[in-house]
Structure 1
Amino acid sequence: MNVSTSVLRRLNIEALLRHAFTSGTFTAAEAMEATSLTRATVLGLCDELTAAGWIEEVEDSRTAGLSRRGRPARRHRLRSGAGLVIGVDAGRSGYRAMAADLRGTVLATGRRELDPDVVDRELRISTVQDLVREVREASASAAPLLVTVIGIPAPVDTHGRSPIDVGTFWRLMNSGFPEHLDGRVVVENDANLSALAEHGQHLEANMAALLVGERVGAGLIVDGRLLHGALGGAGEMRFLETVLQDDIGAEGVGSLARRWTLESLAAGRESPLLAALPAESLTAVDVFAAAQAGDALARDVLDRIGERIARIAAILVSLLGIERIVLAGAVASSLEPVLVRAREVLPDIAYAPFPELVASGLGRDAVVRGAIEHALTRLREDPLELLESLEPSASP
């Protein structure tokens, strides 16, 4: 086989695999229309990819009740169990992993909680290694691991690199995972992955996902494309300290809930519920619970957080034309009182049109779900990556 024929054959297989990834069950005619390949080529590749285990033949059109006359059409679909993808959320203290098949069906999950004050590079690497091994084994899948996507709380460029000249935290978070894990490994910013997870559930060309835990980070999708920027800096919120002219900067809901509650108590505000809790163990969960119970101090704190979220939303809308902002993270399910206040404030500080402000329904799984979505998207866009795992007899 000459080189040009080999290249053409790879491109044909890529086209058919891309169609299999993005469709459900398909006939040869449907594949021909989507790929512009001839009928003979489609049928030949279907037989080859079925033998290789990447697609499977299902009941024909007559058996499926889709046709009554003429010769029944053969039907194929991607074999979901042909490959495995793994997503990891390697946070500052919380670590989550998920294994899924090629349709995105979750097969296994795992998690760890570590003290961030004692975590070093080696412990981060070994924790992620253990989690990947754990979910791969628990998935009970013998399929090849095609790609592992790891989300980290640091800016990441399109090559998986973080800035190395801004303190030590980002260097610690981006601990060189690809060198310590098997197969293809992709490193991405956690807020970006949250945006991809939300985008997968609600297709919106211009949207943002705000991770609002201890810090605020934004994943930005503009004109349907995820933004990275130079050194992965798109969505970094350190500019808030300058723009909003305070020392709060990119503090998130967890940090602000503690800060403003303790400041109010120190100033003499009364709150029987919150004053009874040790200051060192106070959490955003406590403040949200107190607000729900009618505590005036806690309600004021949530209003202040809502006002800050509104200002962040106003900035994103003005600069990028964002139409939908999803607040994600562990506290997302409790954020409606904050969002109510943010929606009230927006018309007073910004110009229409105003963005839709909603809370994520993914909870703590937003980042790891986004990692799975990112892995599958990469395979849909470039299924030639699959070909490297094909048996020699089936490879072009």
Structure 2
Amino acid sequence: MHETTASSPQMLRRMNSGAVLRFALRVAEFTAAEAMAETALTRSTVLGVCDDLVAAGWLEELEDSRAAGLTSKGRPARRYRLRDGAGIVVGLDAGEHRYTAVVADLRGHSLAERSTELDAPSAGGADRLAAASALVESAVAAAGRGRDDILLTVVGVPAPVDADGRSPRGTNDFWATMNPGFPGVLGGAVVVENDANLAAVAEKAHAHDPGDSDVATVLSGERLGAGVILDGRLLRGARGGAGEMRFLDIVEGAGSPAGIGALARLWARAAVEEGSPSALAALAPDEIDAERVFAAAADGDALALDIIARLGARISRVAAVLSSLLDVDKVVIAGAIADAVDPVLAHARAALRDDFSPPVPDVVASTLGRDVVVLGAVELALSRVREEPLAFTPRHAS
């Protein structure tokens, strides 16, 4: 950054402050000389900007290098760091059945996590807003902070979301119920984003090989939905629906966007009801879920193994379509189901190899578990703060 590029002293000062603050957000502590080297600003400018940022509540000045015992000769270096109490971010995974909130400091360290279950069939928009507000309040309190400390909250919802945080109406009220207006109850700066997009953000930040630039991350519990990274950037579309998978309704061998968890449960219950022999028949119908189907398959149960094979064939078609349309190199199966999905993916890889023409994508399980969406929410919140920190107001020291 050069000090002659702005058209007014006020704009110049803001640009210089932003450059120093972005540097402060990346490092544990720094000297004025280090900030000068990073920003190409003069010493007097850096010191003036740091004084401003201290006064604003962003930075704190530490002992100089001589007082800290770091140097003994020459002029002691003035030292600074981001103030621990400058602010926090909140990630909220507002799923259909479960809400999870994570509070993190501006370094990305998790300070607290809280979750709550929802009665999905009966929980309307008002119930969901009340649950979100109470959960965030609880998580922030557990972190030893208050609502005024929140710089930004990012909410992930199972619905397409446009650039203004709104979801289209769709064919029923599901999307509107999932995205009922969180900014109105959470207060402060709030960003609402599609949950699969946040899963893709989390995978890119925490799990991908740095060389992976074309990846589809598929949430696969109750419904399939993809967050797509192409050329290293998140693909959105006009209404935020680029990763919606309703097209699977007309894909032979897929039939619907129902997820792995939902189909494992539904297929097993239907087969048991029809009298198919299985250890699962000893369970009440409402006790048969994906976890028990996967466990039965691990024990060699023929019905469960058949369901695993069918799920693998279906995932191979989903992966092939994503690869054909988007030219992605990798499909990541994410969400809570990812911890147990390896047997399904073994079938999917075999089907891709045997039934489809190359190139075919690599299909892998996420290592981030059920927290993938909330991790993505925190990551997006941190990236927004780091990109434009002066768009936010820090909490002043008391």
**TM-score, with length taken from structure 1:** 0.90
Comparing 18-27 with 291-300, which one deviates more in the overlay? 18-27
Query: Mean alpha-carbon deviation: is it higher for 347-356 or for 163-172?
Result: 347-356
Query: Deviations for 1:259-280, whole angstroms, at most 9, x for unmatched residues?
Result: 3223443555321x11111223
Larger displacement relative to structure 2 (107-116 or 357-366): 357-366
- Give a deviation string over 1:196-248, Cα, whole Å, max 9, x none: 111111343221211101111111111121111011111000001112366x3
1:182 equivalenced with 2:187 (yes/no):
yes
- State the one-letter code of the partner of 2:131: T
The code of the aligned residue for 1:261 comes to A
Distance in structure 1 (CA, Å) of the matches to 2:69 and 2:327 = 47
1:242 corresponding residue in structure 2: 250
Match among 277, 281, 305 for residue 270 of structure 1 = 277
Out of 3, 13, 18, which is 2:22 matched to? Answer: 18
What SS is found at the alignment partner of 2:304? helix
2:331 is the alignment partner of 1:325: yes
Where do 5+ consecutive residues of structure 2 fail to align? 1-6
Distance across 1 between alignment mates of 2:265 and 2:371: 24
Name whichever of 326-335 and 31-40 sits farther off.
31-40
1:258 aligned onto 2:265: yes
Q: Give the Cα–Cα distance (whole angstroms) in 2 for the partners of residues 29 and 323 of structure 1.
A: 43
Please tell me whether residue 8 in structure 1 is matched to residue 12 in structure 2: yes
Work out whether 1:139 is the aligned partner of 2:143: yes
Q: What aligned pairs does 1:156-167 form with structure 2 within 5 A after superposition? A: 156-167=161-172
CA drift of 1:331 comes to 1.6
Question: Which one-letter code corresponds to 2:143 in the other structure?
Answer: S
Q: Point out where structure 1 has 5 or more consecutive residues left out of the alignment.
A: 392-396
User: Which residue of structure 1 aligns with residue 373 of structure 2?
Assistant: 367
Alignment map for 1:92-171 (pairs within 5 Å):
92-141=96-145, 144-171=149-176
More deviation in 148-157 or 29-38?
29-38
C-alpha contact (below 8 Å) 1:156/1:188 kept by paired residues: yes
The alpha-carbon deviation at position 71 of structure 1 amounts to 4.9
Question: What's the % identity of the aligned pairs?
Answer: 52
User: Which amino acid in structure 1 is aligned with residue 58 of structure 2?
Assistant: W
Q: Tell me the distance in 1 between the aligned counterparts of 2:390 and 2:320.
A: 42
- The verdict on how the C-alpha distance between 1:11 and 1:252 changes in structure 2, with shifts beyond 3 A counting, is same
Q: Which amino acid aligns with 1:316?
A: L
State which drifts further: 375-384 or 66-75.
66-75
Count the aligned residue pairs.
387
Coordinate RMSD, CA, aligned: 2.5
- Tell me if structure 1 keeps the 8 A contact 2:57–2:394: no
Q: 1:20 to 1:239 in 2, by over 3 A?
A: same
**1:357 partner letter:** V
Q: After superposition, where does 1:72-111 map in structure 2 within 5 Å?
A: 73-111=77-115
Give the AA of the match of 1:230. A
Distance 2:298 2:188 in 1: 48
Residue aligned with 1:96, SS: strand
